[in-house]
Amino acid sequence: MSREKKASDHYARGYLDATPIDELERAAILERVRANLNYAKANGTRSGKPIGRPRVMFRRNQVAELRRQGMSWRGIARELGAGLGTVRRIYQAPAGDSTEPCQNPIGQTL
């Protein structure tokens, strides 16, 4: 395979041939970014605000109650301050302790 063909294939995939120095620098950058994110998650940010989307808290039985009252899915989501998918997922979940608070989980890993 010619050098030009190989370079054009890599370019089409979004990267060129990386030299060992490029790979070391990329690894160092990734390590620094991960370390800073872990520090910010553990200690908060400079402004004191946590990282990420705040968790949505509401009672699961509120969804069913508002739905029985004839409210639309979007209306329920707006009323509870949650996403449409979260509201529908809670409504369709098997009935357990319906007074248990609902937290919209956010993935913790990168």
Write out the two tokens for 103. Answer: 């937290």
Angle at 79 between CA 75 and CA 84, to 5 degrees: 55
Write out the two tokens for 71. Answer: 């409210």
Read off the pTM.
Answer: 0.45
Phi, psi of 89 (to 5 degrees): -65, -40
Phi, psi of 59 (to 5 degrees): -85, 135
Q: What is the mean pLDDT of each run of 10 residues along the chain (110 residues)?
A: 54 64 90 89 76 75 90 91 88 66 48
What is the pLDDT, as a whole number, of residue 57? 77
Write out the two tokens for 21. Answer: 């120095």
